[in-house]
Amino acid sequence: MGNILCCTTKSKNFNSTLSLEREIIVDAPVMDDAKIADALVSDEEIKQAQAPLDEEQTVDAPQDEEKVADASPGEENGEAKIVDASVDGGKSVDNNSLDVASVDAKVKVFIIFYSAYGHVLAMAKKMKEGVDSVEGVEGFLYQVPETLPENVLSMMKAPPKDESIPTITAAQLSEADGFLFGFPTRFGVMAAQMKAFFDSTGALWKTQALAGKPAGLFVSTGSQGGGQETTALTSITQLVHHGMLYVPIGYTFGSGMFTFDEIRGGSPYGAGTYAGNGSRKPSELELAMAKHQGQYTANFAKMMAKNKDK
């Protein structure tokens, strides 16, 4: 019996020890699991902290897509423009062609003329000065094609054309926001060279591509009764059929319209000069009126261009 009791005691001690060990073993994994769980979280945080740069960009991609979406209406030739929203107070700016954009943003006034002896050319250059003086507007000088052969021009003693000024084609007219047409008179109407140019604009008339665009007129005549008003008056028909808006200067030139101190060309229809026998050049007053008309027409074209999409 003593042996059995002894065994029982030992068994109880063994069981107690085993139970204690089991408790330690059971509790230990629970603690280790918690630590492992904590460790796993830490590993995830480390992975996030060490994420590659391209993955961060992938996360930010929706913002970039929004920028691309905003830029897509400005795509040209199948190439998306780069948009920098940080420029100009958050406004979209085309970084691919800032210079071109700045030019395209300006209102364009085409100063188109025919000049046989340089009188209309001198007026046209002053017109450009006036146009360019208006902020946001730029003037472009063009001459129409000559229709007379060289031998005839030689007999007329007409000087060579200014080669620095390009010759315009009818197709280019649609690029302009406004116009100033200048020409000498031929029996009270525009010179044949300018009429031939207008005759070549049939395709633009068919589509009314020039409708709503402002246009002014300026002239040169040989004498006071040679057509300062009638040359412009009879030319308005060309503008009307295209739907262009004729812009006369009226009496906006001020006191210069009423002076009797000197002979001067020009009328409410537009600026003008007297060529006389060809030796007379445009006077300072006539050139001042031409510059005024350039400014006046440029402001009108700017106003029209600003409101054309409203």
Q: Is residue 82 a contact partner of residue 71, using CB atoms and an 8 Å limit? A: yes
Please report the pLDDT score of residue 44 as a whole number.
52
DSSP state for residue 219 in the 8-state scheme: E
Beta bridge partners of 190: 185
Backbone angles phi, psi at 117, to 5 degrees: -120, 5
Q: Which residue has the tokens 């995830």?
A: 44
How does pLDDT run along the chain (310 residues), one tens digit per residue?
Answer: 444 444 344 444 444 444 434 443 334 444 444 443 444 444 555 445 444 444 444 444 444 444 434 433 333 343 333 333 333 333 333 333 334 345 568 999 999 999 999 999 999 999 999 999 999 999 999 999 999 999 999 999 999 999 999 999 999 999 999 999 999 999 999 999 999 999 999 999 999 999 999 999 999 999 988 999 999 999 999 999 999 999 999 999 999 999 999 999 999 999 999 999 888 999 999 999 999 999 999 999 999 998 876 6
Q: What gap in Å lies between CA 292 and CA 286, rounded to an integer?
A: 10
* Residue 41 CB partners (closer than 8 Å, separation 6+): none
- What spatial distance separates the first Cα and last Cα of the chain, rounded to whole Å? 115
**What is the separation of C-alpha 126 from the centre of its chain, rounded to a whole number of angstroms?**
24
Q: What gap in Å lies between CA 165 and CA 112, rounded to an integer?
A: 10
Beta bridge partners of 138: 108
Q: What gap in Å lies between CA 142 and CA 64, rounded to an integer?
A: 44
DSSP state for residue 225 in the 8-state scheme: T
Q: Is residue 42 a contact partner of residue 49, using CB atoms and an 8 Å limit? A: no
Please report the pLDDT score of residue 306 as a whole number.
86
* Number of residues that make up the chain: 310
Beta bridge partners of 136: none
Tokens encoding 227: 């057509």
3-state secondary structure at position 199: helix
